Structure 1
Amino acid sequence: MRDGQGGWPLDDRGAAYGDGLFETVLLRDGSPLLWDEHLARLVRGCHALGIPMPAERELAAPLAEAGPGLVVLKLILTRGSGGRGYRPPASPEPRLRWQLATFVPAENRWREGVRVRHCRLRLGIQPALAGLKHLNRLENVLARSEWDDEGVAEGLLCDSDGRLVEATAMNLFWQRDGRLETPRLDRCGVAGTLREALRERLSIAEVEAGPEALIAAEAVWLGNSVQGIWPVVRLDDADGVERQRWSLAPLHRGFQAEAHRLLGYPLPDPT
């Protein structure tokens, strides 16, 4: 693991208040995957928070140090230091840090599918931050602490009104009545870069739906730009009681293949 540009001063607003953004980018032999989507989301985040956007050459500088194979680049951009309490500085001087780490995807989850569960925690509704990958991720931390069963790969999150939003670290997709769907993210949640790329290539409807939509689904998937797509084969409630089960089928593999082409991952064999 390699870190760029040292640590954080104690008065950094990202460390003190979560006042910043981050991107987690998969690199293959030094080349970033879905780079345009990552930059576009970072631009949206900078605009929403009022943080100056770094030059692309600054953001791309770590790529030369990545080396061969699969590597994950984590970029962290904060507002920097300054201001008084919560009041931000009038002319922020952003601070950019980065980290490189070798990566091995969980291929067994591609092949075999995963078991997931509902979380008790509910995401707060805040449209001003919806879709952004900001540094305030305590809700995700608390949700992930709800289970320690290694057989459970992810937890699903609803907002405070009971609408499906996402998993703790992945976006959620399903097919219902022959139509691909994903939760609408205009109230909370992270608009993942793989999600955005797939929506550009496939007809995926953004919907408002509760957990009952998954019970009616023909197939369910989780995905992000690092892990790829995991088919869901079992869904539990927050107490670990099974609610639904799916058998892997060509339907699961077709959607997975679309995502894996974007990431350079092996295409799954039809089931």
Structure 2
Amino acid sequence: MILVDGKRTNRISALDRGLAYGDGVFRTMRAERGVVACWRRHYQKLCSDCGRLGIEAPAEPVFAHDIAILVENRPDCVVKLIVTRGEGGRGYAVPQPTVPVRVAASFPAPSGETSLFRCGAAVRWCITRLGTQPALAGVKHLNRLENVLARQEWSGSEFVEGLMLDQDGNVVGGTMSNLFLLERGGLVTPPIDRAGVAGVQRDRVLEIARRIAVPCDIEAVTPERVMAADQVYLTNSVRGLWWVSSLAVRRWRRNDLTAEFARLLRQADDD
């Protein structure tokens, strides 16, 4: 089901700036039994991203009403929320006034999480690199061409995800996920101040690590550091946390901390 400004339709104006320029933001989340996990966090991220672009975010009850309609039809699903700046003419200058457009859509929930957690994920390196743009770093904006190009580098089911580097050769994360390394009992995750998306699950892992006294540092991660890690984790809001079983010639086995983090993330899904 797709709702555009609350109406059931899949049509949007050809003049919409989200279509023309990627001028907007989005968030993707998991609904189970009609409840969106971490809804308040997702909405806060959406508002923050809108603010970074100077777009007025829809009020929380408005999107909550859209979601209620979606999950009534499909209680277990993936929910995607989009806010565009709205219609505009030709050219980059932002017309005044603008009326933001909101889109809410539901999709079937992915399968295979149990197998993914049990067996881990085969991951590869991507050739496509992320550009450096501090003004947009962290924002889940609608221009995801770098991710699209990276995801075109493989097909089929051999790999679950691909890891992307920035222009300096440091690892930022996956095409659809944030990255964590386990090193000597502590966690390391790359900074999201020059490229990448700051995901809700990334924030939650950082909070849980502090709560259970697991050291967690935010610092540059090289490919060599990934290959030398004791464990590699990936996170997003659809699959939660999963572990990497293979990357190039490296192989890993799941450790006890993996199950503990997954349990704590699930336990706090309603925060």
Q: How far 1:149 sits from its partner (Å)?
A: 4.1
Match of 1:91? 97
The one-letter amino acid of 1:205's match is D
Q: How many residues are aligned here?
A: 257
Give CA deviations for 1:131-160 in whole Å, capped at 9, x if unaligned: 111000010000001112411110000101
**Equivalent of 1:71, from 77, 82, 85?**
77
Instruction: Describe the superposition over 1:71-128 as per-residue Cα deviations: whole angstroms up to 9, x where unpaired.
Output: 1111110000125411111322100011112314422111110110110111000011
Partner of 2:217: 205
Q: Which moved more, 1:35-44 or 1:8-17?
A: 35-44
Q: Counterparts of 1:1-271 in structure 2 under 5 Å?
A: 2-5=1-4, 6=9, 7-65=11-69, 66-67=71-72, 69-107=75-113, 108-203=115-210, 204-236=216-248, 242=249, 244-263=250-269
Whole-Å separation in 1 of the counterparts to 2:35 and 2:259: 26
Compare the two structures and name the one with the higher strand fraction. Answer: 1
Structure 1 stretches of at least 4 aligned residues deviating more than 3 Å after TM superposition: none
Cα RMSD (Å): 1.5
Give the distance between the partners of 2:58 and 2:76, measured in 1 at CA: 25
Aligned to 1:268: none
Instruction: Kindly indicate whether the alpha-carbon contact (under 8 Å) linking 1:118 and 1:155 is maintained by their aligned counterparts in 2.
Output: yes
Q: TM-score, normalised by structure 2?
A: 0.90
Residues 155 and 168, structure 1, Cα contact 8 Å, conserved in 2 = yes
Letter in 1 for 2:196: G
**Counterpart of 1:24 in 2: which secondary structure?**
strand
1: distance between equivalents of 2:234 and 2:128? 19
Aligned-pair identity (%): 41
Kept in 1, the 8 Å contact 2:18–2:84? The answer is yes
